[in-house]
Structure 1
């Protein structure tokens, strides 16, 4: 399964030392086996679905934490972040379209109140991960490797 980049031919569970934290949501659609485990759980169509999605992803985060699997923990964090950022884009821009004719549109407060609710579901779980001392320690240890 190659995306044309040899880095993404890597199984990062088997080779955690090859995992780079990266910026923002980098790698969410490529880093395996986590993409296959997390992407099917990720949705923000309604606040209720976002609640189930965020809770399921947090559950995977906790599973990765129990297994000392930092790449998995970090990827779960990225999926929670992506749930928040994508939901907020739809909450603030009608149809989720931030740019029109190459120009950034003015955000609305709130173009889609349901998507804002969905975003808050992800944000709550994301804060729990960010505040998790085990995550911070694992991230620091990973950086030192």
Structure 2
């Protein structure tokens, strides 16, 4: 089974303020397009998690709109870590909603074995996933995001 977010650290929460120390975010979580750190990297987790919901397309629309506003604020401030975290929440909205859409009760694994997906076990979750996919694509293809991502990548090499 895939590793969960808890395996990233020895403790369940980070004690680093990634706004004050963005270089540590890149060191710890990388900038590889993953969802790593989404439930740990503060202060972004506290700023973004309350706005994350994927129950249906309506809640996903509201969530994606709020996450998009946060993303824009981070973008205006040149805050790459914030931008990346907002992207991760949209990516995670997509992946979680798709899991529910394909697997009843989000149970992808039973007794350690992957189940066959159903097409579509929950059509509402599929619609929610589409909402997040659009916002996620906007964020990750944003020119400023790509520029800052490359700058951070070059700093760590």
Q: TM-score range by the shorter chain?
A: over 0.9
Q: Supply the distance in 1 between the matched residues of 2:104 and 2:31 (Cα, whole angstroms).
A: 30
Aligned partners of 2:38 and 2:45 also within 8 Å: yes
Query: 1:73 is matched with which residue?
Result: 83
Alignment coverage as a number of residue pairs:
142
Q: Does 1:19 align with 2:25?
A: yes
Of 75, 99, 124, which residue of structure 1 is paired with 2:109?
Answer: 99
Q: TM-score, normalised to structure 2's length?
A: 0.86
Q: Supply the distance in 1 between the matched residues of 2:113 and 2:15 (Cα, whole angstroms).
A: 37
Q: TM-score, normalised to structure 1's length?
A: 0.93
Shift of 1:22: 4.7
Query: 1:111 is matched with which residue?
Result: 121
Query: 2:55 is matched with which residue?
Result: 45
Aligned partners of 2:57 and 2:128 also within 8 Å: yes
Q: What SS does structure 1 have at the residue aligned with 2:132?
A: helix
Q: Point out 4+ residue stretches in structure 1 off by more than 2 angstroms.
A: none
Q: Does 1:131 align with 2:141?
A: yes
Gaps of 5+ in 2: 1-8
